[in-house]
């Protein structure tokens, strides 16, 4: 039970934390204004030289393997609603880690997305 809980936390928190780290890395790279292929390659190259990118990729890899592990022992119908929580964790992380202003309106939208994603994935399972 404790092992499963750890895996659930890894899926939700490590996955979202990984994306938050990527967002932090891209802030360091700066706003992209030139969309020519050569300029975009330069952006990717600069992103790869930022530590946050590698931390993010590492955390997302960890979350992926944790998801595989948890799917081996639990039903998808149980795992999926838990993973939809990542949208709420994402909004919270954006506020705390990236200092974004998450207004009540944005929170309302995020919570609706959580519910909608759960319904779509459960509907697929039940359909």
Partner 1 sequence: MKTPSPLHFKTYSSILLIVIFGPLGNLLLGKGMKGRGDIAAWTPAELARFVTFVLRSEIIWLGIGSLMVFFVAYTLVLSWADYSYVQPASAFAYATAALLGHFVLGEMVSAVQWAGIMVICLGVFIVGRTPPRTTERT
Which of 6, 32, 73, 76 binds partner 1 (CB under 8 A)? It is: 32
What is the C-alpha separation between 20 and 46, in angstroms, rounded?
17
Residue pair 22/74 in contact by the 8 Å Cβ criterion: no
CA-CA-CA-CA torsion for 3, 13, 21, 32, nearest 10 degrees?
Answer: 140
Q: How far is the CB of 31 from partner 1 (least distance, A)?
A: 4
HEC readout, 40-66? HHHHHHHHHCCHHHHHHHHHHHHHHHH
Which of 10, 17, 20, 70 binds partner 1 (CB under 8 A)? It is: 20
Q: How far is the CB of 17 from partner 1 (least distance, A)?
A: 11
Using the rule CB under 8 A, is 52 a contact of partner 1? no
Which of 28, 45, 51, 76 binds partner 1 (CB under 8 A)? It is: 28
What is the C-alpha separation between 24 and 124, in angstroms, rounded?
34
Measured from the CB atom, is 4 or 55 closer to partner 1? 55
Chain residues binding partner 1 by CB under 8 A are: 19-20, 22-23, 26-32, 40, 43-44, 47, 87, 90-91, 93-95, 98-103, 105-106, 108-124, 126-127
């Amino acid at each position: 039970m404790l092992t499963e809980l750890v895996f659930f936390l890894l899926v939700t928190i490590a996955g979202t934390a990984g994306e938050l780290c990527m967002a932090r890395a891209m802030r360091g790279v700066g706003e992209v204004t030139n969309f020519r292929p050569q300029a975009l390659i330069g952006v990717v190259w600069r992103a790869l030289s930022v530590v946050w990118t590698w931390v993010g990729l590492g955390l997302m890899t960890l979350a992926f393997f944790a998801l595989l592990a948890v799917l081996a022992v639990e039903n998808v119908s149980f795992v999926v609603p838990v993973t939809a929580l990542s949208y709420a964790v994402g909004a919270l992380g954006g506020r705390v880690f990236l200092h974004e202003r998450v207004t009540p309106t944005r929170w309302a939208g995020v919570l609706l997305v959580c519910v909608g994603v759960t319904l779509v994935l459960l509907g697929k399972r039940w359909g």
